[in-house]
Amino acid sequence: MDFQSSLDYLYGLQRFGVKLGLDNMRTLAARLPLLRGALPCIHVAGTNGKGSVSITLSEILRQSGLRVGLYTSPHLHCFTERIQIDGVPIDRQDVASLAAAIRAAAGDIPMTFFEATTAMALLAFKTRQVDIAVIETGLGGRLDATNIVEPQLCLITPVSFDHQEHLGETLVQIAAEKAGIIKCGVPVVVGKQTPDVAEVLLAAAAGRGAAVQLAERDYYWRGDHENLLFESGRVQIEGLCCALPGKYQLDNLAQAIAGALQLRAQGVEIPDDAIRAACREVAWPGRLEWQGHARQVLFDVSHNQAGINCLADYLAEQHLCGIHLVAGMSGRRVPAEVLMPLVKFASAVYAVPVSCETSVPTAQIVGWAEEHGLPALEYATADGGFAAALENAGHQATVVVCGSLYLVAELRKIFREGLSRSA
């Protein structure tokens, strides 16, 4: 297979939809010897922040001189972004050869897209002999395809409402699914949680004899993006800078550092200077990312209640109001439940469809906006709504794109290509 035919094969597996469970992965591992045996790894679950924590922790390990694998999803622009080694996406030929190996081994197994890509990542890390890999879950944790790994450390980022159709309608139910990655005797670092979620996670860890480091109980941060202090027990790390904007990223950074210190306690050599360098240099596109001259456009992949709350907090920190909001949503999300925190910052709403996913009807977004006194128009294409927002905002106002990673990916690509042509 070449790169395109491998993608055709993988995306063709989407006909099997979302199917939680580990049977397919176990059967595949039995057929593919390289998938068996230990892979030194860290397993990361949660609702929001798991990508930021994963990329930051992988950068800390890379700055420490280790050969690091990183598996995240979904990708922003190219499938290769999902599987990285030493901060570099694997190349297209690697994707083709890995997909061919998985396809041959899978045979009659009704593999889902995510199961196949997870197997490809694990195979890549084994083949390339990484020192350690950071593995991000897809949905949930207990029945997520990634839960076939045997990690030496687990991290659970903040748990909030998302994908309730698969994980449960209450936070307690969702937390129980996320807690499914906790293994017997394996340390777990837990990010900031609501009390009911923390209770679920702590009980699960206690039941499995897993030592816990809990945010704001066992580790802390003080300061701001330019001068941050991390503290855990007798360990203090001063002089930290956080490259990722948004106050919530300070929580994510602290959790990544707490994870690094757990690995240090296991004998992994992680110097303080490597932590400082990683925090200063880490990049995670599409997350509160400014593009254009004079901060013209803000792209943010936030798509659920907690994520939009973080975006709203950032807009308040930056004293931004009168924004032109380009919004598109996917799945079963309800605009009135998710987008509400943005009402006081917006002057106009441009409702657009989301490609590559089941799109929330633009009429629902318009209805929400008009109900709260915001002028709104719906567009047949995302780029049409984006172009209208850019024209109307001019140089006086900010355009904010949010509601879906797929939407951000599409419009970020269009905008950057436009900047390249005009340069």
pLDDT tens digits, one per residue of 361-370: 999 999 999 9
Q: What is the DSSP letter of 361?
A: P
Question: Which of 221-225, 259-263, 265-269, 418-422 has the weakest average pLDDT?
Answer: 418-422
* Residue 180 CA: distances (Å) to CA of 101, 116, 163, 256, 270: 29, 21, 16, 20, 28
Is 398 in contact with 324 (CB distance < 8 Å)?
yes
- Rounded percentage of the chain residues whose pLDDT exceeds 70: 97
CATH superfamily to which 289-422 belongs: Mur ligase, C-terminal domain (3.90.190.20)
Task: Evaluate whether 3-281 and 289-422 have a shared fold.
Answer: no
For the stretch 117-172, pLDDT in tens is 999 999 999 999 999 999 999 988 999 999 999 999 999 999 987 766 767 789 99
- Of 285, 220, 210, nearest in space to 52 by CA: 285
**All structural domains of the chain with their residue ranges:** 3-281, 289-422
Q: Phi, psi (5° rounding) for residue 346?
A: -95, 145
Three-state SS for 379? Answer: coil
The CATH code belonging to domain 3-281 is 3.40.1190.10
β-strands 376-378, 346-351 pairing: parallel
Residue 37 above 80 pLDDT?
no
What's the rounded mean pLDDT across residues 371-390? 97
**Residue predicted with more confidence, 203 or 304:** 203
Which of 301, 293, 315, 303 has the alpha carbon at shortest distance from 393? 293
Model pTM? 0.94
With residues binned 3-state (H G I as helix, E B as strand, rest as coil), the percentages for the chain, rounded to 5, are 45, 15, 35
The rounded distance, in Å, linking the Cα atoms of 169 and 359 is 21
Percent of the chain at pLDDT exceeding 90 = 87
Identify the bridge partners of residue 188 per DSSP, sorted by sequence position.
154, 212
> Is residue 18's pLDDT more than 90?
no
Peptide bond into 33 cis (omega under 30): no
Q: Given pLDDT bands bounded at 50, 70 and 90, which one contains residue 17?
A: low
pLDDT tens string 250-301: 999 999 999 999 999 999 999 999 999 999 999 999 999 999 887 899 999 9
Across 310-330, average pLDDT: 96
pLDDT at 388: 97
More confident site: 59 or 394? 59
In angstroms, the Cα distances linking 267 to 44, 126, 232, 261, 340 are 20, 21, 17, 10, 47
Report the chain's terminal Cα–Cα distance, integer Å.
37
Q: Compute the distance between CA of residue 288 and CA of residue 258 in angstroms, rounded to an integer.
A: 23
